[in-house]
Chains A and B, each alone.
Chain A
Amino acid sequence: MSLTPKSVDFNEIWPNLRSTAEAVITLGNVNRSDWSTRFSDVYTLCVAHPEPYADRLYNETKQFLENHVQNMLATRVAPGPCSTSSVNGEPDLLQRYYDAWTEYSQGVKYLDNLYSYLNQQHIKKQKISDAEVVYGNLSSDTMEQMEIGELGLDIWHIYMIKNLSDDLVKHILEDIKADRCGSPEITPNRVKVINGVVHSFVQVRGYKRTGQLKLYQELVEFPLVMASADYYDNEAAKLLKTCTVSQYMEEVIKILEEETKRAKKFLHATSMWRLRKQCEDRFVNRRLDFIYSECKDMVSQEKRKDLRNMYKILKPIADNLKSQLIHTFLDHIKNEGLETISTLSGENIHIQFVENMLKVHQKFHELIADVFENDSLFLSALDKACASIINRRPGDRQPCRSAEYVAKYCDTLLKKSKTTEAEIDQKLTNNITIFKYIEDKDVYQKFYSRLLAKRLIHEQSQSMDAEEAMINRLKQACGYEFTNKLHRMFTDISLSVDLNNKFNNHLKQENIDLGINLSIKVLQAGAWPLGPTQVVIPFAVPQEFEKSIRMFEAFYHKSFNGRKLTWLHHMCHGELKLGYLKKTYIVTMQTYQMAMLLLFESCDSLTCKDIQSTLQLNSETFQKHLQSLLESKLLNASSESLEGNTKIELNFDYSNKRTKFKITSAMQKETQQEQIEHTISAVDEDRKLYLQAAIVRIMKSRKVLKHNALIQEILSQSRVSFTPSISMIKKCIESLIDKQYIERTPNSGDEYSYVA
């Protein structure tokens, strides 16, 4: 073909081109040489000299396509004289439209290729650029030439779809309805036809820059969603008449699945969620009262299948609409939890408390995973329920005991026992789950540190590794501040081991034999919760071991400057060898008990008055310890009243099957109730100090603050370890006003200022 522009006769070329175009658009046979000739004809016309025929070619082609589509409509698609639906196997309207569209849409694509030159060189060049569309001032009715493929689609829309859309959509809706009823007429082939017709409304707009879906949405989606809503409503009403809640939920899940599949089958992908929303609205949102009508029973009887179904259908709807299920579930956990801990009694109440609570927690945690897909709304309901059970006060005036129970539970595990290390470790880890719900973490800390102190001082720990691991768990949960005293206690014990080694080496070097196996624990005052008994009781140390104590003190002072040691004799103990009986016994006892017995080295009988004045003990301590020795039968008394001239004698008839044993110590007689009260009041003191320090700190930085703002600040600062009562905060503010740290501002009653 020649590429030079030349003068040509349009009328000579066009009829040939037109008949090839006709063959192309009807998917007829076009041989290769014809295609090439026509292809260059398009070129020839576009570059014709002196006058190019591009515009004329465009207009003639447009005319040709319009005629072609109108002709298709009239002869192949439009309803014939008989009817629009399929009779006697004749193709119905949808099928005819589908067949015509399938042919035409393909043909237009080929035609677009044949007109490549026109498209590329003539039309694209005059096409408005994207920027012009966005910023431009072009009115939409500017007559714009389109590429031939686009033109073909536009013509299909104008001459085919506009004429038929009402009928087409009517049939589509009827067929979808028939499919819902399970009609056998909706065969896979029929589905393909409907899907093709539906998608033709999208494809015909496919060349547009925006709003490609608009035509489809107006013609199909909107009417279908409306019609479906009525259908769903009817179906829901029918189901309500015959179903139980349980059956209804199963049906709804089935329908939701089917409708989703149906949408995929017939519609454009974007319609699926709209249809589904409508379905959920009619079957779920508008029937919530019914769905919830048996909620309480389903939850309280833990009907997992029903609950799983209920969750499935409620999941997509708004959170506030699910709240009834969540609240019912929360109440159920609370009831079960309270029931399981309300009946506890006996010695092991702390173990039962933690283990029962853990069972409740584990059970519902598992249930939430199994039934509610670990939904965070349900997990937080579990948290709320557990927190409320664990922090509940049994009565207005009774304190909540959970912090104490959890601390004691740890104590039981950490004390020497036959439980394996792995099991202890697992139980302590689980225990943290319960610990985290405790609001009064400071109360827990007080109990824990007292029990830890006892374990460490009396060497009752099963393993130091387990002790340390537990402190680290607490540190992880509550931070360094919370555990630093615990760490310190722990360190003191290991420092003491070193110290004793050094002391023994020192004795060896100096060739000193104390005759006593000495082991000393030196604790840092302030880090250890040694309680009210920290007050030193006057005591004349028996000369039998006074020398040993002196040696140790001298050694200690040489190693540590500027430190003073205070002996806590009520916590010390030793082993005494009894050589005056038929057998030799080695008895473990407290220091005061030991001191009393040692007085009998040089005599066999003493009066109470003698013993007490020699040892310089106060009468309470004296009575308690002497009583414990009498109970052990190592001593006898001439009278029940242990005072004045009552005679105390060694019991020379004493005998015991065991030659090595321990006698009951006197101090453990502080009752449990007293211990708890001491701990609670110590916590109260700490809280007051904490609050006062916090108030001073806040006021120092803020200078002036309203009452409510101050309260809020304090609450947010103290949250980690406890929730103070407002009345306690008020008392602390008052006492700081008294101490003139802060004052009320003169112009306002509820405002404070810092006094520098």
Chain B
Amino acid sequence: MKLTIKSWTGVATWRWIANDENCGICRMSFESTCPECSLPGDDCPLVWGVCSHCFHMHCIVKWLNLQTMNKQCPMCRQSWKFNIH
């Protein structure tokens, strides 16, 4: 072997994989936060429904709290269930 890699220090950034660019509830980009937050990422996480729609967690929780009878996805009106992989 002429050349061997001893070690490698890698730098990567992470962002959410959302199937849309914006949150369907607050219309803000998933790259940024819900209207209540200022720092994207862990502090203002995204969540997915079983229906595959994605929202800011803060937005969907607020939305669900407003629904008195049956809790539905605001996009497809299917009953909302968190998709816990």
Q: Mark A398-415, 1 if CB is under 8 A from B, else 0.
A: 000000000000000000
A518-B39 contact in complex given A523-B13, A526-B32, A562-B16, C-beta closer than 8 Å: no
B38 CB-CB contact with A under 8 Å: yes
A601 CB-CB contact with B under 8 Å: yes
- B contact residues around A560 at 8 Å (CB): 14
A572 touches B38 (CB 8 A): no
Measured between C-beta atoms, what is the minimum distance from B40 to chain A in Å?
A: 4
Measured between C-beta atoms, what is the minimum distance from A216 to chain B in Å?
A: 70
Q: Mark B37-64, 1 if CB is under 8 A from A, else 0.
A: 0111111001010000010000000000
Taken together as a complex, chains A and B put the C-alpha atoms of A15 and B13 apart, in Å, by 117
A518-B8 contact in complex given A526-B39, A526-B41, C-beta closer than 8 Å: yes
- B contact residues around A573 at 8 Å (CB): 8-9
Question: B4, B16, B42: which contacts A564 (Cβ < 8 A)?
Answer: B16
Q: How large is the interface on B (under 10, 10 to 19, 20 to 34, 35 or more residues)?
A: 20 to 34
A600-B2 contact in complex given A522-B12, A530-B13, A549-B10, C-beta closer than 8 Å: yes
8 Å CB interface, A151-202 against B:
none
Taken together as a complex, chains A and B put the C-alpha atoms of A295 and B14 apart, in Å, by 64
- A contact residues around B9 at 8 Å (CB): 519-521, 572-574
A526 touches B17 (CB 8 A): no
Taken together as a complex, chains A and B put the C-alpha atoms of A572 and B2 apart, in Å, by 22
Closest to A549 in B: B10
Q: Is the interface of B mostly helix, strand, loop or mixed?
A: strand
User: Total contacts A to B, CB within 8 angstroms?
Assistant: 143
B75 CB-CB contact with A under 8 Å: no
Taken together as a complex, chains A and B put the C-alpha atoms of A287 and B43 apart, in Å, by 66
- B contact residues around A561 at 8 Å (CB): 48, 85
- Residue picked from B13, B48, B54, most chain A C-beta under 10 Å: B13
Question: B2, B39, B54: which contacts A580 (Cβ < 8 A)?
Answer: B2
Question: B8, B17, B40, B43: which contacts A519 (Cβ < 8 A)?
Answer: B8
B85 touches A575 (CB 8 A): no
Closest to A517 in B: B7
A577-B4 contact in complex given A484-B39, A519-B9, A521-B10, C-beta closer than 8 Å: yes
Q: Mark B1-43, 1 if CB is under 8 A from A, else 0.
A: 1111111111111111110000000000001100000111111
Measured between C-beta atoms, what is the minimum distance from B30 to chain A in Å?
A: 10
A661 CB-CB contact with B under 8 Å: no
Question: B3, B15, B46, B85: which contacts A601 (Cβ < 8 A)?
Answer: B3
Taken together as a complex, chains A and B put the C-alpha atoms of A511 and B11 apart, in Å, by 25
B3 touches A564 (CB 8 A): no
A594 touches B5 (CB 8 A): yes
A516-B11 contact in complex given A526-B41, A561-B85, A600-B2, C-beta closer than 8 Å: no
A601 touches B39 (CB 8 A): no
A481-B38 contact in complex given A575-B6, A601-B3, C-beta closer than 8 Å: yes
A518-B2 contact in complex given A526-B41, A562-B16, A564-B15, C-beta closer than 8 Å: no
A600-B3 contact in complex given A519-B10, A523-B14, A528-B13, C-beta closer than 8 Å: yes
Closest 9 CB pairs of A and B: A517-B7, A574-B8, A524-B41, A575-B6, A580-B2, A525-B13, A526-B40, A571-B11, A577-B4
